[in-house]
Amino acid sequence: MFKSLSASKMFRFPFVFWMVLVGGLVAVGIGLVSLGYPVPATELKGVEGTLYQESKELHSITPDSLEGMIVNTVELVSPAVVSISTERTVASFRPSQERSYGERFENFDEFFRRFFRSPEPRREFKQKGLGSGMIINENGYILTNEHVIHQVDEGGISITLSDGRILKAEIVETDIESDLAVLKIRADSLPVVTLGDSDNLRVGQWAIAIGNPFGYALSELNQKYEPTVTVGVISARERAMQIGGTGTEVRVYTDLIQTDASINPGNSGGPLVNIHGEVIGINSAILSPSGVGSIGIGFAVPINKAKRILDSLVKYGKIEWPWIGIYMQPELTEDLAKKFGVERGVLVTEVVESSPAKKAGVKAGDVIQRVNGKDVNSPLDLKNEILKLEIGEEIVLALVREKEQITIALTTGRIPEEIVRAEEEEIEEETEKEIKEALDKAPEEALLGIKVQPITSELRKKYNLAEDEQGVVVTQVTPAGPAMQAGIVPGDVIKEVEQKKITDIDNFHEAIQEVKPGEMILLRVRHGVWTMYITVPTNK
């Protein structure tokens, strides 16, 4: 296939031959260099001209330009951003579980993961943690995340200031509900941040995340440090997220700011600021499915929520949230929606005695659809709208009662020390004879597959029922019956049948007598500490 060429034939095509030969040698040379045969450094001596090009021109930053505004913002805020170092004692079954920088707080799945506990821990160790915070008052008050200082040892919080000083901090107050904490150090004349307004944020506006995770470590090395800075935009508002699960503590957070400004490890508790240097949020978490790094989704607690906490501390000496005094159905199912004649909303299952809602006329069975004109479709929505308010602020609820639209105005209040859940009416104990007579005429067994009894002192004790609990208590549930399939268990208290209040065994039976076999029946049931509405298909 291939033919050899004689020397004479080679010289017949001198140009082609030498081009191929030279090209091959060049290729081999390049290959040798790429395989690790660099030009000796001595060859660089005596190189004519410069080895590289450089610019010595000084580029000024125009203050009114975007670059200038970002630089000015960072210079303005950074002195008030602190590094927080924590120490907590952790029981460990395996020594390898200790980590030098503590929990990966920014990991979505492990954001609030409880520390590993073993029934028989082999040893205890001191776990270190790093986070950030911001000085809000020149006398040493610092705002940060609750999870940054969660379960720290007494005296286990150290604050590193921008001037390199390291001071011990005390916890003033914490709030798991909002993941916020207020700390205090003994210092004065400190630089402070300026709090902005997070209620009027717009998606797309600039957001600058500032943190100081390594200030403590660098200060110990006598090294000057500056906070870390990342720039992005507001990606979304009013986000909700669930933290934890799979055997760990579960928390739900609402009304979060979403941003693509990277929230680096240790930046939790640092400020999220706008282009004008005003704090609009507290950096809290990132979405990290891998648990390794950010995918560009970060979350911050709105600063207005923090301002409400701070105002509460000044006014009441502790953190207080607005309260109206209702309990809500976790989910409005299709069957429940049909029963109440609605398509959406939040179903009220119980109204606390003497609460703002009770005084205003809210009743169990009401379906709240709007709060101050804003639609609410879940308990989370309603709770979020209430928490935006101030204690003592008037709100308007638009709700459906017995398939009619009504509006109720009420004023938010403070949660009382003791909440009275039912009317203070004593239920007299039934005699054994009365109980037997009641059980003998029990249609609920045929319809629902349950047996009920009046609430006696013995049953109160057996099922741990409150002294003021009203209704009838379920004592038996037929296996695979309608009630069991609906989740009813012995010890549950039936408080309503088809929205008719049940106070004793007689009116329970009166209500049951009106139910036709095969109908879907609506019950209001106390199940453990919760009261809820459930629909049960009766036997035919």
CA 297 to chain centre: 14
The catalytic residue among 78, 83, 92, 179 is: 179
The catalytic residue among 83, 92, 178, 268 is: 268
The percent helix, strand, coil of the chain (3-state, each to 5) is 25, 30, 45
Query: Longest C-alpha distance within the chain, in Å?
Result: 130
- Ramachandran sector of residue 354 (left: φ over 0; alpha: ψ -120 to 50; beta: rest): left
Nearest CA to 241 out of 388, 382, 108 is that of 108
Q: Which residues contact 298 (CB under 8 A, 6 or more apart)?
A: 209, 232, 258, 259, 260, 261, 262, 263, 283, 285, 286, 287
Q: Is 179 a catalytic residue?
A: yes
Q: Which residues pair with 350 in a beta bridge?
A: 327
The catalytic residue among 147, 255, 288, 312 is: 147
Q: Which residues contact 314 (CB under 8 A, 6 or more apart)?
A: none
Q: Is 527 a catalytic residue?
A: no
Backbone φ, ψ for residue 20 (5° rounding): -65, -45
Gap between the Cα atoms of 256 and 131, Å rounded: 19
Helix (H, G, I), strand (E, B) or coil at 188: coil
Q: Is 457 a catalytic residue?
A: no
278-286/194-195 β-pairing? parallel
* Residues recognised as catalytic: 147, 179, 268
